[in-house]
Amino acid sequence: MYFSKFPHRSNFSFVDSYSEADSTIAAGGKQMDVSVRTFDGGITHVQVIDSERWGENRCLEALSAPEVSEHRHIKVAPGFKLQVLGKRGKTLLKGTFGVSGEASIFVFSVEGAPRFYGMGEKTFGRMELSGVRAKFWNTDVWGDFHIAHYADHPTDPPYFTTPYVIVKVADEYVGLLLHNPYPAFMETPGTEDGRAFEEWKHTSPDLILGSEGGEPNLWILNGPTLRELTRKLQRLVGTTPLPPAWALGYHQSRWGYRGHDDLVRLDEQFAKHKIPCDGLWMDLDYMDGYRIFQTSSEAFPLGAQATADTLAVNQRRIVPILDPGVKFETGYRVYDDGNKHEVFCQNAEGKEFVGLVWPGETVFPDFTLPKVRSWWAGYVEEFARSGFGASWLDMNDPSTGPVDPQGMRFRHGKELHAAYHNQYALGMQMATYEGFRRARPEERPFLLSRSGFIGSSKKAAIWTGDNLSNYFYLSISIPTSVNLSLSGVPFNGPDIGGFGDSVSDGLMIDWVKANFLFPFFRNHCAKGQRDQEPFNFPEPVMALVRRYIRLRYKLIPYLYNLFIAQEEDADPILRPLFYEFDDAGLDRVNDQFMVGPWVIQAPFVQEKAKSRPVLLPGNDKWYDAVSGDWLDAGAVEAKNDRGSTPMYIRAGAILPMQAGTPVDNTKELRKVHLHIFIPPSWSGDSSTTYKADDGISYRYRSGERSSISVRLASANGNLAISVEEIENGFGPIEPTFVIHGDPKSVRLNGGEGKLKNAKVVLTGKPLKVQIL
């Protein structure tokens, strides 16, 4: 597999004839069947079928297409020329299709000055992706690249595959999703400055999407806005089911925690220092000789459940790592059982494929088969019942060590590796999810995975893989996670502080301040590096890290409601500025992002920067969460202060928070403080719906949820608040209103509101507020 070489369009035969009546095309003298179907909402599916060339469609997870529609957003001209139509019938893209053996390619010309986004988990360090060549093949980055490359340069392809690109043409957006698990590639028009020779610097003048094999399945999604487009994509690939509330907390991990003694020590230290923490994570060391599903007697001398019971006093859960590799060892029950039931991938000789991973010689379950997923789920069920609260799925790229994974075959040796490589992690997620549902059917599972494919959003959160403790990885965490969010994977985040190398005090502070509101928030590092637990830093550093962990917990009601909105409305949690605003140039801002519709973060991600420019979009004023000042939209300068971080809240915002400063991981969702942000003499209105449930079960789906509608209306600073109960299945929501601003008058549900002065700390100094 070449990571940096790509098929060239000149080596393809393009369609030279098309029969709409027969639904066939011909390219290079070979006839193929073709299907073009349209669905509600401006979604089109183009499928090319040739059983001899590609066989059956090999996608493990079907997409959730809406109802079939007669209204077409694409036109198919003679010669199978595809025209993607926008508003008022304007042509946005013109495309054609070609083949080269088993490889296939779609080529789209784009008028004007198009812009490109998405592509999933790419580490190019920018939101906008013109002028790039990209591969889509799940890798074990540290195993497949040299450290001189991945230390402080983008590596492509990374761990996670999402062959999806967003195209902006004028003021409209189109999404192109290649639902094909074979190795895929893309090329966007523009300049690639990293090429060594002049003639290579320019990428194709057209947009190219292709695959080295497999049945071509292209989904074309018309926006026209980025919000509408992202919602359509997310519903197509699957929204993220509402996670348990504890999954949104702070998580502590390290390669080196061995079991009971380490976990109890961590539990005591978090309690002693009053640092909220929900999950204690274990890397490989808890296992008996790296045998999955088998803990060592030294790790849990009384069994994992005894440790889980101890941690449950402080509402903490144990999250162990699970690798897919099974130690190739007769006498090890998981191997013997898998061998008996023929669950492992095979090699070309019809024997079990063997790699070299942590256990040494290792075999791999074939998760493409339903019976194997069920077999794995049985072990996961037993594992979960033994005391583990969730699971962390690693090395599922799949990593085979120094052994070439392309020797691994699927489906009893009948399918070559490329057919399912990118879906291996997805199959593992499907099987592990089933196991936790069997063990605790009333409880929402929480899985974290390194690799994945289209459909992973329905099963697991994704962390962006092994990183290093440096400012390169801190800076790319923003565009990587935001573009992953736009690509249908909203529950994601990096290892806070960096996994490899020893983090400095300053970098740890900057990383926590930058990512403390990312969807997934885990501090993780490697064995042999500096201790990264908050309480192992000097007191002033620990105090700052603790402060932002506590602030995350204060904002848990907001984050939790963003995840509710993801499940229901398909909006991402992290968003680029241009998701909410259409100001020019916002897609060139790579170091700011939005958390939901109300909050902008503009953290310091460059070492020793004393100040930074911040762009506040739109027309309304923004509340500076550091100083409490109201700022006009436009360019402002933020000073770098060790204790604060730039965060701005939109005029009219209604942010649900917990009361006070949380010192443990309690999550009070019903007695909520609704923070209202009103500039002086502001005229405007806004609204939100706030929801609360038990945070753990599925009972909210059968009515055990409460929600209220909150509306604001202000005329020249005279504020009126109205609250209406919508549902009361979880008990009454008791809101307290915290007003940031100085309204001339306040009325609540038509009556005069009584105010008292107070102070609140967000990301800077104590701020004057009024409590209603």
Place of tokens 């929900």: 278
Task: Name the band, by pLDDT with cuts 50, 70 and 90, for residue 684.
Answer: very high
**What is the token pair recorded at 310?**
């101890």
Q: Does 492 score more than 70 pLDDT?
A: yes
Q: Does 82 score more than 60 pLDDT?
A: yes
- Predicted confidence (pLDDT) per residue in 345-360, tens digit: 999 999 999 999 999 9
- Predicted confidence (pLDDT) per residue in 373-414, tens digit: 999 999 999 999 999 999 999 999 999 999 999 999 999 999
Residues 6 or more apart whose CB falls under 8 angstroms from that of 738 comprise 657, 673, 674, 675, 676, 758, 760, 769, 770, 771, 772
Task: Give the separation between CA 332 and CA 321, rounded to whole angstroms.
Answer: 19
Q: What is the pLDDT of residue 1?
A: 79
Place of tokens 């409880």: 443
Q: Which residues are bridge partners to 187 per DSSP?
A: 133, 208
Q: Cα–Cα distances in Å, from 594 out to 248, 300, 519?
A: 17, 42, 12
Compute the average pLDDT of residues 696-709.
98
**What is the token pair recorded at 225?**
């806005």
Q: How would you classify the pairing of strands 43-49 and 217-222?
A: antiparallel
Task: Name the band, by pLDDT with cuts 50, 70 and 90, for residue 291.
Answer: very high
Task: Name the band, by pLDDT with cuts 50, 70 and 90, for residue 577.
Answer: very high
Compute the average pLDDT of residues 161-168.
98
Task: Give the separation between CA 494 and CA 476, rounded to whole angstroms.
Answer: 10
Q: What is the pLDDT of residue 193?
A: 55
Task: Name the band, by pLDDT with cuts 50, 70 and 90, for residue 111.
Answer: confident
Contact 359, 325 (CB under 8 A): yes
Q: Cα–Cα distances in Å, from 610 out to 347, 637, 723?
A: 57, 10, 44
Task: Give the separation between CA 329 and CA 343, rounded to whole angstroms.
Answer: 15
**What is the token pair recorded at 566?**
């993801």
Angle between helices 370-385 and 424-439 (to 10 degrees): 50
Q: Which of 187-196, 427-436, 757-766 is the least confident region?
A: 187-196
Q: Cα–Cα distances in Å, from 657 out to 97, 373, 421?
A: 51, 40, 43
Compute the average pLDDT of residues 534-538.
98
Task: Give the DSSP letter of residue 168.
Answer: E
- Predicted confidence (pLDDT) per residue in 242-268, tens digit: 999 999 999 999 999 999 999 999 999
Q: What is the pLDDT of residue 265?
A: 98
| Torsions phi, psi for 515 (to 5 deg) | -115, 10
Task: Give the separation between CA 665 and CA 698, rounded to whole angstroms.
Answer: 21
Higher-scoring residue by pLDDT: 195, 289: 289
Q: Does 197 score more than 70 pLDDT?
A: no
Q: Does 196 score more than 50 pLDDT?
A: no
- Predicted confidence (pLDDT) per residue in 172-189, tens digit: 999 999 999 999 999 999
- Report DSSP letters for 399-429, one per residue: --TTS-GGG-BBTTTTB-GGGTGGGHHHHHH
Q: What is the pLDDT of residue 600?
A: 98
Compute the average pLDDT of residues 670-684.
96
Q: Does 191 score more than 70 pLDDT?
A: no
Task: Name the band, by pLDDT with cuts 50, 70 and 90, for residue 464.
Answer: very high
Compute the average pLDDT of residues 208-236.
98
Q: Cα–Cα distances in Å, from 151 out to 192, 479, 494, 508, 509?
A: 21, 18, 15, 18, 20
The per-residue pLDDT of the chain, averaged, comes to: 96
- Predicted confidence (pLDDT) per residue in 227-243, tens digit: 999 999 999 999 999 99
Q: What is the pLDDT of residue 596?
A: 98
Task: Name the band, by pLDDT with cuts 50, 70 and 90, for residue 208.
Answer: very high
Task: Name the band, by pLDDT with cuts 50, 70 and 90, for residue 195.
Answer: very low
- Predicted confidence (pLDDT) per residue in 600-658, tens digit: 999 999 999 999 999 999 999 999 999 999 999 999 999 999 999 999 999 999 999 99
